[in-house]
Amino acid sequence: MDDGNNESSDLTGSRPRRIAIITAGGDAPGMNAAIRAVVRSATVAGIEVIGFRRGYEGLIRDLAEPLGSRSVANVIQRGGTFLETSRSVEFRTPAARGLAARNLKRHQIEALIVVGGEGSMIGATIFGAETGIPVFVIPASIDNDIPGTDYSIGFDTAVNTALDAIDRIRDTAFAYERVFCVEVMGRDSGFIALAVALGAGAKAVVVPEIPFNLDDICDRVEDSHRRGKRSTIVVVSEGPRTGGVIPVAEALTARLHMQARVVVIGHVQRGGAPTARDRLLASRMGAGAVKAILDGAVPSLIGEERGAIVCVPLGEAVNRRRLLDPLLIDLVHQLST
C-alpha cells in the first residue's frame, strides 16, 4: 500500500485534472442530482470526471466511464442512481482496496467522491487512509443517520413518500373506524419514523433508539377510542431493535378486541423522483465537493449544518454519532391528544 505521500494526494496549490465519482450502499432519491452537480461543476473548472459503476465493486472491477456535461442531462428528476450501486463485501478486504486504488491511479484519478451512507463513509475513510487518495463523501441515505450533517440526500423524499401513503391509509381508517399500524424504513435509525409520525398526526411512534412499552401504546390508543376518536395511526420503525410492526399490531388487536391492520411501506420509500428539497441539497453538496477538492481541503464529508454547506474532516465525522431528539417523541404524544 502507498504511504499517502504520492503525487495524487497533493492537491494544495494545484488544480486537479481528473476526479472520480461513485454511488455506494443503499440508493437514495437525489443521488443523480448529486452526480450531475459534481460533473457540471467540475467541467466548469476544467476537470475531467470518471464515473465508476456499481459503487466500490466498480472500483475493484474497473467499471469506468467518462462523464461529461451532456451525460448527466435529464437526470436531476430521476430517482435511484444511473451509476448503479452495490454493497461490496470484497471491498472490506485490504487486497480488494489495494486493487481499487491501483485502478484509480491507472486512470490518473486525483480525488474520489463517494455518494453514499454511513457504511460508505466508513469505507471511504479507511480507503483514503490506506492509499493516500483524497476521498470526499456526499451523504446520501434515506435514514438521515449520517453524522456531520443535519440532512442527508433522500431523507425528505422518503418521508414525503411515507406521508403520502399514510394520508391515503387514514381515509380508510376513518371510514371503518380502524387502527392502522404502519411500518417505515430505518432499521437502526428512527429519523424517518419520527418525522412521519409528526407529519401524519400519529397516535404513537416506535423507534429503535428509545425503549418502548407495548402496554403504554395500547393504553394511549384505547383511551383515544374511548374518547370517541374514529381512527388511529401508529408508526413503527422496521428492524430487530423494534421487532417490527407485527407485535405492535397483535398487542393492539388483543387489547381493543378489533383487528389492527398492518401496512408495511417498504422499499417504495427508496424510489421515485426526489423532492425539490432533495434536489437542492444534492446540487449544493455536489458543487461543494468539487469546491473542497479545488480548495485543497482534507478528505471530508460534505454536509449541511444550519443551512450552510460545510466540510467535516472524515476522521471527525466517523467518530461522531447522530442522535435522535427524544423530546420529539413527547411532541408526537402531545399533538395527538
Question: CB of 232 within 8 A of CB of 215?
Answer: no
Bridge partners of residue 304, in order along the sequence: 309
Q: Would residue 167 show up in a list of annotated catalytic residues for this protein? A: no
Residue 277, exposed/middle/buried by CB under 10 A (0-12, 13-18, 19+)? middle
d(C-alpha 120, C-alpha 98), whole Å: 17
Residue count (the chain):
337
Residues whose CB is less than 8 angstroms from the CB of residue 18 and which lie 6 or more positions away in sequence, other chains included: 47, 48, 49, 50, 107, 108, 109, 110
Nearest to 124, CA basis, from 20, 7, 12: 20
Among the listed residues 2, 3, 143, 156, the single catalytic one is 143
Helix and strand element counts for the chain (H, E): 11, 11
Task: State which H helix or E strand residue 168 sits in.
Answer: helix 155-176
Task: State which H helix or E strand residue 138 sits in.
Answer: strand 135-139
Residues assigned a catalytic role: 143
